[in-house]
């Protein structure tokens, strides 16, 4: 059966990861959380006090980082950093506050992109991030760009943090999102962009189920078109 790569890019807290995870589950595909990979690197740099301005330190640190995703009984995956489950830790705000700076570093992006491409070699993959359709998988059969109103995104992010036991002021969460947007869209290395061949999905007024359903319908259309050409 024909398999495709689904690349989902977009801003923070638009529902990219949750949608990608749901689509992968529906299609029987592998879900790869690229954002979790950059968060894991950020956590490692934080714990080891790596100077982001010291390229030698950064390169040496990257040599000691191993990231993997291990499935749970419910079908989700946890992120492991050098054998340790860091899924909860990488979702905390202190990591979120630094992840855009870390992921803007060229050596970090080169290493993560190399790992992501290895994961997607067999296709049947759903991956979300900032540069999936533009850099990691420029030939992906289905590219999506997700966006939403900043206030709605901040509300979603605040609720997500609360679910994990982190109570944060709304204005602080909103400021964090705006800072990440600015860094993600203006960095020199693989900035967040909407590629010409990407379909836009505005999730401001969409439920999660509606987002998953829309992407699955798009994927079915691509698969049907591919089957007809074959």
Domains and CATH numbers, the chain: 5-229 (3.40.50.300)
Displacement of CA 74 from its chain's centroid (Å):
20
In total, the chain counts a number of residues equal to 230
Q: How many helices (H) and strands (E) does the chain have?
A: 8, 8
What is the pLDDT at residue 95? 95
Grouped pLDDT means (10 residues each) for the chain, 230 residues: 92 93 92 92 98 97 92 81 96 91 94 90 91 95 97 94 87 93 92 96 96 97 82
pLDDT at 1 (0 to 100): 67
Give the C-alpha separation, 177 to 108, whole Å: 21
Contact 197, 137 (CB under 8 A): no
Give this prediction's pTM. Answer: 0.85
Which among 44, 187, 38, 52 has a CA at the least distance from the CA of 113? 38
**What's the angle, vertex CA 89, arms to CA 126 and CA 81, rounded to 5?**
65
**In the prediction, which pLDDT does 161 show?**
86
Backbone angles phi, psi at 168, to 5 degrees: -130, 145
pLDDT at 230: 62
Please choose, from the candidates 168, 179, 13, the residue with its C-alpha nearest in 3D space to the C-alpha of residue 93.
Answer: 168
């Amino acid at each position: 059966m024909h398999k495709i790569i689904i690349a989902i890019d977009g801003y923070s807290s638009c529902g990219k990861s949750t949608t990608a995870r749901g689509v992968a589950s529906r299609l029987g595909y592998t879900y790869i959380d690229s954002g979790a990979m950059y968060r894991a690197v950020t956590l490692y740099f934080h714990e080891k006090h790596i100077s982001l301005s010291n390229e030698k330190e950064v390169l040496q640190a990257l040599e000691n980082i191993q990231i993997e995703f291990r499935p749970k009984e419910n079908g989700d995956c946890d992120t492991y950093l050098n054998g340790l489950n860091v899924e909860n830790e990488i979702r905390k705000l202190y990591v979120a506050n630094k992840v855009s700076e870390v992921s803007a570093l060229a050596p970090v992006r080169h290493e993560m992109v190399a790992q992501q491409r290895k994961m997607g070699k067999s296709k049947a993959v759903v991956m979300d991030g900032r540069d999936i359709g533009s850099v990691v998988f420029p030939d992906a059969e289905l590219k999506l760009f997700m966006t939403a109103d900043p206030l709605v995104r901040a509300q979603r992010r605040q609720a997500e943090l609360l679910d994990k036991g982190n109570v944060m002021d709304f204005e602080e969460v909103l400021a964090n999102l705006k800072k990440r947007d600015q860094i993600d869209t203006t960095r020199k290395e693989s900035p967040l962009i909407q590629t010409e061949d990407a379909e836009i999905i505005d999730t401001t007024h969409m439920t999660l189920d509606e987002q998953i359903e829309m992407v699955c319908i798009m994927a079915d259309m691509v698969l049907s078109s591919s089957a007809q050409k074959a």
